[in-house]
Amino acid sequence: PNLATTFLDLPLNNPLMNASGVWCSVGSQLEALQESEAGAMVTKSCTLQPRDGNPEPRYRVLNGDKPWGSINSMGLPNEGFAYYLRYTERHDYESKPLFISISGLTLDDNLAMIDGLKDAVTPAILEINLSCPNVPGKAQLGYDFDAMDTLLAEVTSGYGQRSLGVKLPPYFDIAHFDEAAAILNRYPTVAFVTCINSIGNALAIDIDSESVIIKPKDGFGGLGGDYVLPTALANVNAFYRRCPEKAIIGCGGVKSGQEAFMHILAGATLVQMGTALYEEGPGIFARVKAELSEIMEKKGYSSLSQFHGKLKTL
Ligand SMILES: O=C(O)c1[nH]c(=O)[nH]c(=O)c1Cl
């Protein structure tokens, strides 16, 4: 079977990539992704200035030996926009496409980063993060539809005719799928939607210590891993159905070829891995590629297009 695909007219060897935030904050990690079997890669969401982020412990896998997922409240630690812009200038675009994720703390910061990017000659693809749940005092843009609309109006005009994408939080209500999609569909240069970011503000408890397990925010943090797969699939399919002109990138609960296959069936063109990558490292891409290929072989599919978005209903 052939795992090759295209995204915004760029060729990819396979549809797998990292989720922003995982294994992509510093040069050594980015180089490891570059060397890995990932079909594409994305940088850690950045702010205009470097940030230390929240106090540790701020990431934990949940339930010890049999982890069902992760909880994190990193707090947007990153090396700052200029660092990632420099990486976009030294990335090997022949080997795989690069996405750059920005998550400005203010509209002005987002516009400043957009301004820095729009003149850049690099073909890095912009993914704007509207869904960081862990910056104390900063509500998620993705849950404030007016603010999201205003940001998209400003950002798309600042970015001109260049295509870009948005990273959305999970939604849990059909009316919210409808409203978010209606906003996105008013911005034709928003060429893709990445669903989902972590399920925000979960709480994990350790009964031995009778305590929370991460330090920031009294233990509240974003949930990833097996726990979020059904919600991730729903968001991928909801936006796939509602935004026929846009590509969907699936993220959430992918740890093997099985979940990658589900995301593609639900409408994802590319598939991101976060928690599973954090735990296994960049070798995961070769493993999941082989597993996806085996599933396709068994089902008689020779290309992704033969089942992409072909989820059946009853
Ligand atoms: O705490 C974080 O850095 C973080 N953590 C997440 O789970 N999603 C995000 O978008 C971000 Cl920005």
Kindly tell me if the per-residue pLDDT of 103 is higher than 80.
Answer: yes
Strand, helix or coil at 194?
strand
Reply yes or no on whether the pLDDT at 66 is more than 90: no
Strand partners, 45: none
Please indicate whether residue 43, judged by its CB atom, sits closer than 6 Å to ligand 1.
no
**Beta bridge pairs of residue 16:** 271
Distance 130 CA to ligand 1 centre (A): 10
Which atom of ligand 1 is least distant from the CA of 77?
Answer: 3
272: tokens are 């991101």
Confidence tier at 119 by pLDDT (50, 70, 90): confident
Q: What local confidence, expressed as pLDDT, does residue 121 receive?
A: 81
pLDDT tens track for 251-267: 999 999 999 999 999 99
Cα of 265 vs centre of ligand 1, distance in Å, is 26
Cβ–Cβ under 8 Å, residues 243 and 181: yes
Question: 3-state SS of the chain: helix, strand, coil percent to 5?
Answer: 35, 20, 40
Predicted local distance difference test score (pLDDT) of residue 136: 87
273 DSSP β-pair partners: 18
The average confidence (pLDDT) of the chain is: 97
Q: How many angstroms separate the alpha carbon of residue 132 from the centre of ligand 1? A: 5
Give me the numbers of helices (H) and strands (E) for the chain, helices first please.
9, 16
- What is the pLDDT at residue 77? 98
Residue 75 Cβ inside 6 Å of ligand 1? The answer reads: yes
Is this prediction's pTM over 0.95?
yes
Does 134 contact ligand 1 (Cβ within 6 A)?
yes
Active site residue 251: no
Q: Is the beta carbon of 194 within 6 A of some atom in ligand 1? A: no
Indicate which residue of 24, 132, 243, 251 is catalytic.
132
